[in-house]
Amino acid sequence: MKLIIQNGRVLDPGAGIDRIADLLVVDGRVAELAAAGSLAPQDAEVLEARGRWVLPGLCDLHVHLREPGEEYKEDLASGARAAAAGGFCTVVAMANTKPPIDNGELVARALERSASLGLCRVLPVGTVTAGREGKALAPFGELRRAGAVALSDDGAPVADAQLLRRAFEYARDFDLPILSHAEDPRLSLAGQMHEGAVSTRLGLTGIPSVSEEVAVARDIALAEYTGGRLHVQHLSTARAVELIRAAKARGVRVTAEVTPHHFTLTAEAVAEYDTAAKVMPPLRDESDRRALIAALADGTADAIATDHAPHSSIEKDVPFAEAAPGLIGLQTALPLALDLWRQGHLPLETVITRLTSGPAAVLGRQASLAVGSVADLVLVDPEAGWSLNDETNQSKSRNTPFWGRGLTGRVEATILAGRLVYARSRSPIWLGAG
């Protein structure tokens, strides 16, 4: 099978590509990058990309797909549709399902089901501890052999430092990173939002920044001592950024991610008791938000990750203190990230890197449009305005403070290993035989 994408601006910072060009895909791989308008094999499908960007397929290190156990919120099919519509060819699925993914059979089942759907590449994470109970380690070797790409008890920290030390040592032998939900539960207690002026005004119990910072410091120390691989999830505080920056400078094997909601919003988004803005870790202060952007700019944060966490109205349309934390983010991540470029906070190539080759590298993978690479790519109209609403939303859930908000930058098509898996419409992109 041959596919030609004509006249698009091909942007791949990792491969040093930024030019108007034609891109030829043959049998699922990038076969040629040529001058715009120069490729026209008669046996190829043609996608017109004039005025669009052609990017490597996006990679998300942090999604909750809720299958098995909570399919009323999301399942692999709806999550994969949302991923494809958001430009993501690869998503890393967290293990806090019901039951948790703590054995090889559940990993294999997730891989088989996602492969049968064929909408995006779902990479399962296995738990650190059996049943996510924090008492004994899960069978890392079995999880790795079944196809798990990382280990995490996300949704809860591994509170026992000795157990986590053993986890780093055991995971090191299988070259698996541990994805850390960095939180000290004794400091967070029953907190509902960031501890500060807004929580005081609203009368809500606060979660102090130090809850994250103590946990990040501990996890870095354990990774450094054991030589294990640490990935810090959903960074939210300025001090945590400083700790990771210093650890990287010392050569510690640590990477990190920042979510679009944490670099876009602050605790003020909760000012009207808006449960859509209740997340964990909570939205922080403006100084923290700026520190997260700086972390993305200098590489302290390797990736932008959504922490896509669907919830139904059952969990969200309740008093704030009773609401589940989390929001959906697969379809809004790209336009929110592009806002960092539009506002002058990050160069465009940095934004693209943090959504593509940066997160892929955390897993030892590639996201590239270089000749010979797997043809995972996304076509983006950078100037198109749109909003996430009942018509455009692909998730089963709608819990997000960005619902109905004007967004700029729209995915027009997503191609997975040379196959078109999402197209916004037949127009203005023309798809047909060459």
Q: Encode the chain in three state secondary structure.
A: CEEEEEEEEEEEHHHCEEEEEEEEEECCEEEEEEECCCCCCCCCEEEECCCCEEEECEEEEEECCCCCCCCCCCCHHHHHHHHHHCCEEEEEECCCCCCCCCCHHHHHHHHHHHHHHCCCEEEEEECCEHHHCCCCECCHHHHHHHCCCEECCCCCCCCCHHHHHHHHHHHHHCCCCEEECCCCHHHHCCCCEECCHHHHHHCCCEECHHHHHHHHHHHHHHHHHHCCCEEECCCCCHHHHHHHHHHHHHCCCEEEEECHHHHHCCHHHHCCCCHHHCCCCCCCCHHHHHHHHHHHHHCCCCEECCCECCCCHHHHCCCHHHCCCCECCCCCHHHHHHHHHHCCCCCHHHHHHHHCHHHHHHCCCCCCCCCCCECCEEEEEEEEEECECCCCCCCCCCCCCCECCCEEEEEEEEEECCEEEEECCCCCCCEEEC
Q: 325-350: per-residue pLDDT in tens?
A: 999 999 999 999 999 999 999 999 99
Average pLDDT, the chain: 96
The count of other CB atoms within 10 Å of the CB of residue 358 is 25
pLDDT at 428 over 60: no
Mean pLDDT in residue range 242-265 = 98
Q: How far apart are CA 365 and CA 320, in angstroms?
A: 40
pLDDT confidence band for 434 (50 / 70 / 90) = very low
Q: 278-314: per-residue pLDDT in tens?
A: 999 999 999 999 999 999 999 999 999 999 999 999 9
Residues 6+ apart with CB under 8 A from 279: 261, 262, 307, 309, 325, 326, 327
> For residue 203, what are the CA distances in angstroms to 193, 195, 317, 386?
10, 11, 19, 36
- Residue 42's pLDDT is 77
Mean pLDDT in residue range 176-187 = 97
Residue appearing with tokens 């703590």? 102
Q: How far apart are CA 100 and CA 98, in angstroms?
A: 5
pLDDT at 432 over 80: no
Structure tokens at 220: 């870095």
Please calculate the CA angle 127-104-147 and round it to the nearest 5 degrees. 85
* Residue 339 contacts residue 42 (beta carbons within 8 Å): no
* Residue 86 contacts residue 55 (beta carbons within 8 Å): no
Mean pLDDT in residue range 130-156 = 97
In the chain, what is the straight-line distance between the N-terminal and C-terminal CA atoms, in Å? 12
- Residue 425's pLDDT is 77
Polymer length in residues for the chain: 434
Structure tokens at 14: 């990792």
- Residue 262's pLDDT is 98
Q: Is 75 an active-site residue?
A: no
pLDDT confidence band for 426 (50 / 70 / 90) = low
Q: 43-102: per-residue pLDDT in tens?
A: 899 999 999 999 999 999 999 999 999 999 999 999 999 999 999 999 999 999 999 999
φ/ψ bin of 67: left (φ > 0), alpha (ψ from -120 to 50), beta (otherwise): beta
Catalytic residue among 102, 153, 307, 339: 307
> For residue 285, what are the CA distances in angstroms to 237, 241, 298?
8, 14, 20
